[in-house]
């Protein structure tokens, strides 16, 4: 149980570069994440109203995806991916330079001092991160070769998405871009890491056959992203849905439920971590399945668009980050497994706010959920405080 965490704990006391990298990445990602979440709340509060500086609210998705999520993934992968491959960490100064480029580029977009220049700086940072990750991973091989492919795809898709943003007038109005941004780099990294860490959940096993089908269907869906024809969009979304189902099957998502959580076999510390991780990860998996279903249905009912976006961004991606961060980060940073301080309050706040918003967007009017961003913001702040106070 928690075998990868154990390996990290045993080896990370002398792994100072990972600690420094995570501190830098966490600090910068937190700033951008809070700014993006706050702007998202303001955007929702101003829905249907004439307000000043409304254009700044539109930076919300960029700060969240290309700021918070991207830098968080960069930081965790810097410490984790070399351990997957039993390799030393890459040069720390080069990594810190990449994080600085991404952070500064996002600040330029946020402040309006140079959105295009900022996006170019961010792209340069992502190109460097892609090269770094691919060099570490090398040729995919071994029992988890599918995981290696997904982890390699993540920075490549991040770079492609960042480049596409430069050439589109209104990228977030183009569903091809939205699907690439949400189902691209964050999903690929989550899938790759989840396959590697399948043993984080009691009784779960990795099924390589399902993983292979997941990979090739995912690649097929990506190849259909440039096309705008309605029938090809429907086919692409159906393939993404099937890929998601095979992913969930590959990580044995239902196995711990079938086993009835035989947590009595664990010691108290592992039991606390297992309950925490399984709750958040299973919630993320449910949101993932819902998001892919809504993506397919929006071809017939366009009002499902907002539900798809926030089921992915807040439901799947945020819950996955909340599942892994308190388990992996303390081990990578200090060589200890944190237990005291783990809380389900962020889970309740963020998911209730997201359900409120999505329910209103699908069955009523988004204006009816203009306050739904407040519990999400409160949950995000609570989570960040919790992570920093773990013992």
CB-CB contact of 74 with 129 (8 Å): yes
CB-CB contact of 225 with 157 (8 Å): no
Q: What string of pLDDT tens digits covers the 391 residues of the chain?
A: 444 454 444 444 444 687 888 888 889 999 998 888 888 888 777 765 555 555 666 788 899 999 999 999 999 899 888 888 888 888 899 999 999 999 999 999 888 787 889 999 999 999 999 999 999 988 888 899 999 999 999 999 999 999 999 999 889 899 999 999 999 999 999 999 999 988 877 778 899 999 999 999 999 999 999 998 999 999 999 999 999 999 999 998 887 655 555 666 777 777 888 889 999 999 999 999 999 999 999 988 888 999 999 999 999 999 999 999 888 887 777 666 677 788 999 999 999 999 999 998 888 777 777 788 899 999 999 998 898 887 7
| Distance, CA of 358 to CA of 161 (rounded, Å) | 25
Q: How far is residue 389 CA from its own chain's centroid?
A: 22
Could you tell me the domains of the chain? 3-388 (1.20.210.10)
3-state SS of the chain is CCHHHHHHHHHCCCCHHHHHHHHHHHHHHHHHHHHHHHHHHHHHHCCCCCCCCHHHHCCHHHHHHHHHHHHHHHHHHHHHHHHHCCCCCCCHHHHHHHHHHHHHHHHHHHHCCCHHHHHHHHHHHHHHHHHHHHHHHCCCCCCCHHHHHHHHHHHHHHHHHHHHHHHCCCHHHCHHHHHHHHHCHHHHHHHHHHHHCHHHCCCCCCCHHHHHHHHHHHHHHHHCCCCCCHHHHHHHHHHHHHHHHHHHHHCCCCHHHHCCCCHHHCCHHHHHHHHHHHHHHHHHHHHHHHHHHHHHHCCCCHHHHHHHHHHHHHHHHHHHHHHHHHHHHHHHHHCCCCCCCCCCHHHHHHHHHHHHHHHHHHHCCHHHHCCCHHHHHHHHHHHHHHHHCCC
Return the structure tokens found at 114. Answer: 């140079």
CB-CB contact of 72 with 332 (8 Å): no
């Amino acid at each position: 149980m928690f075998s990868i965490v154990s390996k990290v704990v045993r080896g990370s006391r002398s792994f100072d570069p990972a600690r420094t990298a995570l501190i830098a990445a966490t600090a910068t990602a937190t700033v951008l994440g809070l700014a993006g979440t706050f702007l998202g709340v303001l955007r929702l509060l101003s829905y249907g109203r004439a307000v000043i500086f409304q254009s700044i609210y539109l930076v919300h998705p960029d700060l969240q995806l290309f700021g918070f999520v991207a830098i968080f993934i960069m930081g965790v992968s810097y410490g984790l991916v070399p351990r997957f491959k039993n390799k030393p960490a890459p040069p720390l100064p080069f990594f810190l330079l990449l994080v600085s480029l991404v952070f500064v580029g996002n600040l330029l977009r946020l402040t309006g001092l140079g959105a295009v220049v900022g996006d170019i700086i961010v792209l340069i940072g992502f190109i460097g991160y892609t090269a770094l990750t691919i060099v570490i991973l090398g040729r995919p091989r071994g029992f988890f070769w599918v995981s290696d492919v997904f982890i390699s795809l993540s920075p490549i898709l991040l770079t492609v998405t960042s480049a596409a943003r430069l050439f589109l007038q209104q990228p977030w109005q183009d569903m091809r871009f939205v699907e690439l941004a949400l189902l691209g780099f964050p999903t690929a990294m989550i899938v790759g890491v989840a396959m590697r860490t399948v043993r984080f959940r009691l009784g779960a096993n990795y099924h390589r056959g399902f993983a292979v089908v997941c990979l090739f269907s995912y690649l097929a869906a990506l190849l259909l992203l440039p096309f705008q024809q309605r029938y090809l969009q429907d086919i692409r979304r159906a393939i993404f849905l099937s890929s998601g189902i095979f992913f969930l099957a590959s990580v044995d998502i239902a196995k711990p439920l079938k086993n009835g959580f035989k947590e009595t076999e664990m010691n108290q510390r592992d039991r606390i971590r297992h309950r925490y991780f399984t709750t958040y990860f299973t919630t993320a998996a449910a949101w993932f399945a819902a998001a892919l279903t809504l993506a397919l249905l929006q071809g017939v009912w366009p009002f499902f668009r907002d539900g798809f976006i926030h089921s992915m961004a807040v439901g799947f991606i945020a819950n996955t980050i909340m599942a892994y961060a308190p388990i992996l980060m303390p081990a990578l940073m200090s060589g200890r497994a944190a237990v005291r301080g783990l809380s389900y309050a962020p889970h309740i706040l963020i998911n209730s706010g997201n359900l409120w918003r999505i329910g209103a967007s699908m069955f009523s009017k988004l204006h009816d959920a203009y306050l739904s961003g407040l519990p999400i913001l409160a949950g995000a702040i609570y989570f960040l405080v919790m992570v920093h106070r773990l013992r």
